[in-house]
Amino acid sequence: MTIAHSVSPSRGPGSPKVVGFHDAASGSCQYICIDEATGRCAMIDVVLDFNPARARISTASAEWALEWIAREGLTLEWILDTHPHADHLMASAWLKDRTGAPNAIGAKVREIAALWRDFYNLPDAFDPDRDFDRLFADGDTFRIGDLDASVMLSPGHTLGSVTYVVGDAIFAHDTFMQPDSGTARADFPGGSAAMLYDSLMAILAHPDDHRIFIGHDYGAEGRDRPAWESTVAEQKAHNTHLGGGVSKERYVAVREARDATLNLPDRMLHALQVNLRAGRLPEPEGDGHSYFKIPANRF
């Protein structure tokens, strides 16, 4: 399988090497964050491949990433997600079963689960404390090898999204897009354009040379391939929604007007019931098959 990918080299002690790779079907950007000194790494926002027309899942992207790690002689230390994704199915549980590495996400996933129990009319579904080994709170710290990593609560796209900061690398998920594409939508349940603006500003408070790795790229005019890396300075200067110091009031007005024109992602209603289980399908029924439950006329 051919997957678009690139390597962002370490800049020295305390700075990770980052492998970024792209899922063309959903526009999702996925990462391997590497401490070269110890050979230990984390996987961030890795997808399960999903064909919504057939409701069929495969593991090609996750297998590609594991093969890359094996070829480089690395040890997987963490399986990280930034939020319960609406546009792809997460590979967290599959990777944990395959490797034994612990998986983690933000602690406010508990509140997101409570919202979606109502939308799916599944009052006993979704137990993040069961399905994730660690639920990170704002300000928590951990290590990838010898690299220091920290967690920032970054709500707006969802109420519980988190950003991982590892040395000079910021894994900013569905907050920023590339400067030529602006920022992420904020109209999902629990989302808020005003909260997203504050999260964006908190990310931009990092030093100008810090690298920002985004959650999605859908392409842009003038580019012939996906891209997912920029810097704080580039986002400050050139982001189409924020560049040059756009006010919060102006940003919220533009973001909300844009969001009002958008349809739901075509995987969303499949994805949330899986991702709130860390990527596990609903429990098999009597015939041994799992079934998606799709709410009608709720959105």
At residue 147, the 3 state secondary structure works out as strand
CB–CB of 144/159 below 8 Å? no
CATH homologous superfamily of 7-263 equals Ribonuclease Z/Hydroxyacylglutathione hydrolase-like (3.60.15.10)
By DSSP bridging, strand 229-231 and strand 211-214 are antiparallel
> DSSP letter at 258?
H
pLDDT score at 221: 84
In percent, how much of the chain has pLDDT > 90?
94
**Residue 254, pLDDT above cutoff 80:** yes
Distances (CA, A) of 156 to 87, 96, 187, 256: 16, 28, 8, 12
- pLDDT range class, residue 219, cuts 50, 70, 90: confident
Classify residue 95 as left (phi > 0), alpha (psi -120 to 50) or beta: alpha
Distance between CA 214 and CA 177 in Å, rounded? 6
Positive/negative CA dihedral, 257, 260, 265, 271: positive
At residue 22, the 3 state secondary structure works out as strand
Of all helices (H) and strands (E), which one includes residue 153?
strand 147-153
Q: Is 236 exposed, middle or buried (0-12, 13-18, 19+ CB in 10 A)?
A: middle
Nearest Cα residue to 27 out of 209, 267, 244, 288: 267
pLDDT score at 92: 98
pLDDT tens, 169-188? 999 999 999 999 999 999 99
Q: Where are the alpha helices (DSSP H) in the chain?
A: 60-71, 92-99, 109-120, 128-131, 193-204, 232-238, 248-259, 268-275
> DSSP letter at 216?
B
pLDDT tens, 264-289? 998 999 999 999 999 999 999 999 99
CB–CB of 36/75 below 8 Å? no
Within the chain, how many helices (H) and strands (E) appear?
Answer: 8, 16
**Residue 88, pLDDT above cutoff 70:** yes
> DSSP letter at 88?
S
pLDDT tens, 138-173? 999 999 999 999 999 999 999 999 999 999 999 999
pLDDT score at 224: 83
Average pLDDT over residues 233-238: 96
- Domain boundaries defined on the chain: 7-263
Amino acid identity, position 171: F
**Residue 213, pLDDT above cutoff 80:** yes
CB–CB of 172/184 below 8 Å? no
- pLDDT range class, residue 222, cuts 50, 70, 90: confident
**Residue 1, pLDDT above cutoff 70:** no
pLDDT score at 291: 96
Nearest Cα residue to 168 out of 112, 210, 229, 230: 210
pLDDT averaged over every residue in the chain: 96
pLDDT score at 176: 97
> DSSP letter at 45?
S
